[in-house]
Structure 1
Amino acid sequence: MRILFVLEHFHPYIGGVEHLFWELSKALTIQGHQIKVITTRFDKKLPQKECNEGVEIYRVNCSNRFSFFIRSVPSIFKNIKKFDLVHTTTYTAAAPTWLVSRLRNKKSVLTFHEYWGDLWKQLPYLNFTQRFLYSSFERMVSYLPFSKIVAVSKFTQQRLIKAGVDQSKISMIYNGVNYNSIEQLSTKSFTSDVKTTKKSKTLDFIFVGRLGVSKGLDILLKASDTFLQKNPDATLTLVIPTLPKKMYGQILNEINTLPCVHQITVMHHLTQEELYKQIKRASFIVIPSYSEGFCFVAAEACALNVPVISSNCGALKEVVSGQYITMDTLTSEGLLNALMKAKQQEWQYKESVQFPLDKSVEQYVHLYKEMIDG
């Protein structure tokens, strides 16, 4: 099969969406399928054209996803005729991909990671105009008549149905986690290094995620400030990207005003191995999101047997397993209570849940073949 992916961002950009399509495109290439990705050139140091692990990548000369909405059209139009179908994702890549697929009479797939709806009204770091425009754009994308829509969790599937999306067009395919990669990184020396590090710290908790308005960073920083002041031996590590620059600067400014700033470490641009080491070193990971369509970080932390403090919002109730604590309210007070429970080792337990990459790829291949043959 020949599959064209049109994506706002792609590897090495950091995020769950990018992680999904990087793993999927590599796996499809290994199976012998022809894969090409059209995406943004978010970093000018990246080549405009390259072939990475068999995946052909073309980067449109625009640094953000909003300009990609317009500037991607010529590239999609030029390339789509060579492929059996086109696969895109929410949000800004969806409309131009659908338009060109209609003009070129090609079948199209849209992966919907989550549908926020009224949640836009509650999210921090947004003004009234942004909330209105983003929520309106989300509704518009959900109305576009793609050939098929993929929801990455049962939660997202139900949200789309509630929003009025044709249920017969929706396929639920969980994001695939590369457990083999996680296991390979959990070597004997890696385990030894982790144990040594953990002994040297009383309590070290970690946050890993992109700088998204739904990630609960406002809740995290407020609760952590109170907790860290009460526990001077405890530390917080944030592994976050430096993009978007405006929000990154805002988060750094907030951290620097906290009395506990000396107990907080901010890290960026880690390799997958370095990231897993940081997660494994932590006493537990904190995921205080307002919503999650899936959450790779939660799935990977559980695979590494690291306890999770979770907001339990969105698909987190589907993904989190092993040792966990659920925030009783989606507030800084709710997270502070959860942190205190974690300190006292008051963990709950759920049987391990896994999302194998092979199964996810198999489901996508089945969907593609069904569309091409249909």
Structure 2
Amino acid sequence: MKKTAVLMISEYYVPHWTGIVITFHEIAKNLIFQGYDMTVLTTKYDNKIPHKEVVDGVNIIRVPYFIRLSRTHYSIEIIFTFLKILSRFQTIVINSPNSNILFFTVIAKLFGKKVIIYHQGDLELPHQTGNQLNNRVMEIIFDVFTIPSFLLADKAVTYTRDYAVNSRVMKYSLDKFQSYIPFLKLPNAKPSQDFIRKTAHLRRYILIGLAGRFVEEKGYDVLLKAIPGIAKKIKNVRFVFAGATNMEYESFFEENHLLIKKNKDNLVFLGLLSRADLKHFYKMLDVFVISSRSDCFPTTQIEAALQGVPIVVTDIPGARMLVKTTGFGEIVEGENIKALEDGVVKIIKNKEKYNQNATHVSTFIKNNDTFKLY
């Protein structure tokens, strides 16, 4: 029996290992497990990667990009490739945000295709850095193109209903809502020698972890301001950051250089880590912090929580739901330095209490980890 062919569209895909890509790749693997034939259409953001390849059973087609715009590599050619191959597929799954989302959705529906949009967060551009007029205009354009796409789509999917209800673009399509949260497994591999070298001296400290892109929406500046207060209450503490700091499209790391310098004795930057090293990074930690101003559902908290690390997360739609549902951590008021400080200290001083709820994490995720086409 011929397998049903599904086309997934994403502006970035493997080996661009961001949380957005990791989740979308998990969807593809989930659908392969269900018996579907999977193809991903994406941009060739790096000339060194092949035009076509197969990764974990997923057929990947990459097309050249035309121009770099803020956070994306925009492609015109992807539109023509989409038109060329559309007839081969019955269902289209679009990764959102996507610059061409309305075009893909309208054309797919005109040709009678089922359209599912997986939304990984409203476009939130900086309010402290960059051209503010341009940032607000781009957010408006995003909304104008994405809202009708959801209205036309057959399914509107994201991590949690909490986020969908509060999303600028999803709240009009809640009748089509479906949740999907990937059960993220990190490799069982030995840490690299570089990781061992960088972290050997940290074993004697209480470690508070952060991971992701150092950008404004992640709220790392709030945590930087909370470090002195935490360090006064918890001796022998260090804050360990895994991820990229200098982003091409945002100068937030540079903007906070004084805060970073002020806290340099308590801060350790490990840079980007491999998936294998990430597992060992999480296992080192006593607490994992999500200080975001906006965050749909950071995959880092899934990874950390599944490794048994309690979470401190700001009280924002979507991101708060893992802790709210499982009790494995503390939810704190956003932009509140004292609340963040208190949340971290509370967990460190009562770890056994939170560890009792660790088993609820896998149950919560498993209740949402099947991507349903029908």
Structure ranking higher in helix proportion: 1
Q: Are positions 1:133 and 2:151 aligned together?
A: no
Q: Are positions 1:311 and 2:318 aligned together?
A: no
Q: Are positions 1:74 and 2:77 aligned together?
A: no
Gap runs ≥5 in structure 2: 191-195
* Match 2:361 to one of 346, 353, 360: 353
Question: 5 Å matches for 1:192-207?
Answer: 200-207=203-210
Query: Could you tell me how far apart the structure 2 residues matched to 1:101 and 1:335 are?
Result: 45
* Match 1:324 to one of 322, 329, 351: 329
* Match 1:216 to one of 192, 211, 219: 219
Question: 5 Å matches for 1:125-274?
Answer: 125=129, 127-129=131-133, 130-144=135-149, 145-160=152-167, 165-168=172-175, 170-178=176-184, 181-182=185-186, 185=188, 200-224=203-227, 227=230, 233-241=236-244, 244-247=247-250, 250-251=252-253, 254-255=256-257, 258-274=261-277
1:134 CA displacement = 1.1
Query: Could you tell me how far apart the structure 2 residues matched to 1:363 and 1:121 are?
Result: 29
Aligned residue for 1:354, secondary structure, equals helix
Q: Would the aligned equivalents of 2:312 and 2:330 in 1 still touch at CA under 8 Å?
A: yes
1:53 CA displacement = 1.8
- List per-residue Cα deviations over 1:109-168 (Å, max 9, x = no partner): 11123347xxx5985445432024214422430122223221320112322599652333
What code does the residue aligned with 1:335 have?
A: L
Q: Are positions 1:107 and 2:114 aligned together?
A: yes
Aligned residue for 1:214, secondary structure, equals helix
With over 3 angstroms needed to count, the CA separation of the structure-2 counterparts of 1:363 and 1:14, relative to structure 1, is: closer
What code does the residue aligned with 1:128 have?
A: Q
1:6 CA displacement = 0.6
1:281 CA displacement = 0.2
Paired-residue identity, % = 19
With over 3 angstroms needed to count, the CA separation of the structure-2 counterparts of 1:59 and 1:241, relative to structure 1, is: farther
Aligned residue for 1:10, secondary structure, equals coil
Q: Would the aligned equivalents of 1:70 and 1:96 in 2 still touch at CA under 8 Å?
A: no
- Which range moves more in the overlay, 29-38 or 100-109? 100-109
Query: Could you tell me how far apart the structure 1 residues matched to 2:315 and 2:189 are?
Result: 27
Query: Could you tell me how far apart the structure 1 residues matched to 2:34 and 2:280 are?
Result: 30
Q: Would the aligned equivalents of 2:218 and 2:294 in 1 still touch at CA under 8 Å?
A: yes
1:294 CA displacement = 2.2
Name the TM-score, length of structure 2 as normaliser. Answer: 0.80
What code does the residue aligned with 1:336 have?
A: E
* Number of positions where the alignment pairs a residue of Structure 1 with one of Structure 2: 351
Q: Residue 283 of structure 2 corresponds to which residue in structure 1? A: 280
Aligned residue for 2:218, secondary structure, equals coil
- Which range moves more in the overlay, 199-208 or 296-305? 199-208
Query: Could you tell me how far apart the structure 2 residues matched to 1:93 and 1:335 are?
Result: 38
Aligned residue for 1:289, secondary structure, equals coil
Gap runs ≥5 in structure 1: 188-192
Query: Could you tell me how far apart the structure 1 residues matched to 2:332 and 2:309 are?
Result: 17
Query: Could you tell me how far apart the structure 2 residues matched to 1:236 and 1:215 are?
Result: 15
With over 3 angstroms needed to count, the CA separation of the structure-2 counterparts of 1:67 and 1:53, relative to structure 1, is: closer
What code does the residue aligned with 1:87 have?
A: V
Q: Are positions 1:54 and 2:62 aligned together?
A: no
